[in-house]
Amino acid sequence: MIMANNLLRQFSLHAEEYEKKAVEVLRSGWYVLGNEVTSFENEWATYIGAKYCVGLASGLDALWISFRLLEIKEGDEVIVSANAYIACVMGITMNGATPVFVEPDRYDNIDAEKIEAAVTPRTKAILAVHLYGQACDMTKIIDIARRHHLEVVEDCAQSHGNRWQGKIVGTFGRVGCFSFYPTKGCGAFGDAGCIVTDDEDLAKKFRVFRNYGSEKKYHNTVVGCNSRLDELQAGLLRVKLAHMDELNAERNRIADRYLEGITNPRVNLPQMWPGADSTWHQFVIHTALRDELQEYLTARGIGTMIHYPIPPHLSEAYRYLGHQRGDFPIAERYADEVLSLPMYNGMTKDEQDEVIHAVNKFSPADDL
Percent of the chain clearing pLDDT 70 (strictly above) = 99
In the predicted model, what is the mean pLDDT of residues 97-118?
98
In the predicted model, what is the mean pLDDT of residues 260-274?
96
pLDDT in tens, 172-211: 999 999 999 999 999 999 999 999 999 999 999 999 999 9
Hey, which residues does 182 pair with through a beta bridge? none
**Do 221 and 11 touch, CB atoms closer than 8 A?**
no
Model confidence at 368, in pLDDT bands (50, 70, 90)?
very low
Q: Which of 6, 39, 44, 4 is nearest to 25 (CA)?
A: 39
Q: Which DSSP letter does residue 366 get?
A: G
Q: Which DSSP letter does residue 129 get?
A: E
Cα–Cα distances (Å) from 15 to 20, 187, 201, in that order, read 9, 14, 38
pLDDT in tens, 125-167: 999 999 999 999 999 999 999 999 999 999 999 999 999 999 9
Contacts with 306 (C-beta within 8 Å, 6 or more apart), sequence order: 290, 294, 338, 339, 340
Q: Which of 80, 83, 42 is nearest to 194 (CA)?
A: 42
Cα–Cα distances (Å) from 205 to 56, 150, 213, 258, 270, in that order, read 13, 20, 9, 44, 39
**Do 224 and 213 touch, CB atoms closer than 8 A?**
yes
pLDDT in tens, 276-292: 999 999 999 999 999 99
Contacts with 10 (C-beta within 8 Å, 6 or more apart), sequence order: 187, 247, 344, 345, 346
**By three-state DSSP, how is residue 151 classified?**
strand
Mean of the per-residue pLDDT values of the chain: 97
The Cα 220–Cα 54 span in angstroms is 19
**Do 303 and 2 touch, CB atoms closer than 8 A?**
yes
Quote the pTM value. 0.96
Q: Does residue 119 carry a pLDDT above 70?
A: yes
Q: Which domains does the chain have, with CATH numbers?
A: 7-241 (3.40.640.10), 244-367 (3.90.1150.10)
pLDDT in tens, 49-89: 999 999 999 999 999 999 999 999 999 999 999 999 999 99
End-to-end CA distance of the chain: 26
Model confidence at 366, in pLDDT bands (50, 70, 90)?
low
HSE, CB side, 13 Å, CA atoms: give it for residue 252.
15
The Cα 162–Cα 170 span in angstroms is 9
Contacts with 153 (C-beta within 8 Å, 6 or more apart), sequence order: 63, 66, 67, 70, 125, 126, 127, 128, 173, 174, 175, 176, 177
Contacts with 83 (C-beta within 8 Å, 6 or more apart), sequence order: 104, 108, 131, 308, 311, 330, 331, 334, 335
**By three-state DSSP, how is residue 209 classified?**
helix
3-state helix, strand, coil in the chain (%, to 5): 45, 20, 40
Q: What is the amino acid identity at position 31? A: Y
